[in-house]
Chain A
Amino acid sequence: MTGSYAELFFLIFFGVAAIWFGIVVFRTHSMVRSALALLFSQTAIGAMFLVMQAEFLGVLQIMMMATEMSVMALFMVMFMMDPGGMGAMDMSHQKRLSLRAGGIGLIAALAVSWLPDWGPVANSIPDASRQVELLGIELLGRSMFVFESAGLTILTSMIAATMVAIAPRKIGEDT
C-alpha cells in the first residue's frame, strides 16, 4: 500500500502543478510565459501519465508537448502585439461569463468524478514492454481503421493548414 500512497501523492502533486500552470497560462501578460506555462502544464500531465504507469503515453506526451509548445512560443512572438507583456494590457474579455462557465464546468466535472460508483478497481497492470506490445496489437488489429483514419486526418490537416497559410497569389504569377 506504500506504493499506492506514493502514487496518490505524486498524482496530486503533478495534477495540482498542471492546474497551477494552466492557471498561470491565462494570468500572465507575457505570451512567451504563457506558452512556457502551458508547456509545464502539459509536462506535468505527462508526468501524471508516468505516475499512472502509462509510460509510453507519458513520454509521448512530454515530447510532443515540448515540441508543440516551443512552436507555439515562436508563433506567440510572431503574432502578439506585446509578446513580452510589458504593457500589462488585459487580453481577456467576457470574464464573468467565462468564470461562470469554468466554475459550472468544474463543479459538474467534480460531481461526475466523485458521485458515481466506478466499480472495482483493477490492481494488476501489464508492465511497460507488455503495454507497448498490446498497444501495437491493438493498433494494427481491432482499431486499425481508426488508427489509419487518424493518420489520414493528420495528413489532410497538414495539407489544409499549409494551403491556408500560404500567401495568396494571383493566378499566373510566377513564384
Chain B
Amino acid sequence: MIVELSVALSIGAGLFAVGLYGALSQTNLVMIMMGIELILAAALVNLVAFWRYLHPDVMSGQMFVLIVMTVMAVEMAVGFGIAIARFRSRGSVEMEEARELKG
C-alpha cells in the first residue's frame, strides 16, 4: 500500500514541477495563473493521498482540500480581476510590459 501513496505523491511532485515551470516561464498573466493552478492541484493530490492512505477516518484532510479549493477559486477571481483592470488600462496582460513594480 505504501506504493500507492508514493505514486500519488510522485504525481503531485510532477504536477508541482510542471506548474512551477509554467508559472516562472510564461509571459501571459493568465498563463501564469494556470501554472499556479497546477501547483495548487499538486497540493490537492498530495492532500487527498495523505488522507486516503494515512488517516482516512479523520476528515480534517478533506476539509483541508476544501480550503485549498477555496484558495484556487480566490486566486482565480483576483487574478482575473487584475487581468481585466490591466487589460482595460494597458490593452494587454503581457507581463513583459509590466514594470510598474520596479523599485
Which residues of chain A have a CB within 8 Å of any CB of chain B? 4, 7-8, 11-12, 15-16, 18-19, 22-23, 25-26, 31, 34-35, 38, 41-42, 45, 48-49, 52-54, 56-57, 60-61, 64, 68, 71-72, 75-76, 78-81, 91-95, 97-99, 101-103, 105-106, 109-110, 112-114, 118-119, 121-126, 131, 134-135, 137-139, 142-143, 146-147, 150, 153-154, 157-158, 160-165, 167
Contact = CB atoms under 8 A, between A and B. Distances in A.
B24 to A, nearest CB: 4
Query: In which size bucket is the chain B interface?
Result: 35 or more
Contacts of A80: 28, 30
A57 B18 contact: no
A35 B16 CA distance: 18
B1 A121 contact: yes
A37 B13 CA distance: 19
B62 A110 contact: no
Interface of B: 1-22, 24-31, 33-35, 37-38, 41, 44-45, 48-49, 51-57, 59-60, 62-63, 65-67, 69-70, 72-74, 76-78, 80-85, 87-88, 92-94, 96
Contact of B34 (A25, A139, A167): A25
A109 B52 CA distance: 19
A147 B66 CA distance: 9
Q: Which of B5, B22, B54 has the most CB of A within 10 A?
A: B22
A15 B4 CA distance: 11
A15 B11 contact: yes
Contact of A118 (B53, B84, B96): B53
A163 B77 CA distance: 11
A45 B41 CA distance: 7
A119 B1 CA distance: 11
7 closest cross-chain pairs (CB), A and B: A109-B13, A15-B11, A161-B81, A113-B9, A102-B21, A106-B17, A125-B56
24 contacts: A4-B1, A4-B4, A7-B4, A12-B11, A15-B8, A22-B14, A25-B22, A25-B38, A26-B22, A35-B34, A53-B52, A72-B30, A97-B24, A103-B17, A106-B13, A113-B10, A114-B10, A122-B53, A135-B63, A143-B60, A146-B67, A150-B66, A153-B70, A157-B77
A114 to B, nearest CB: 5
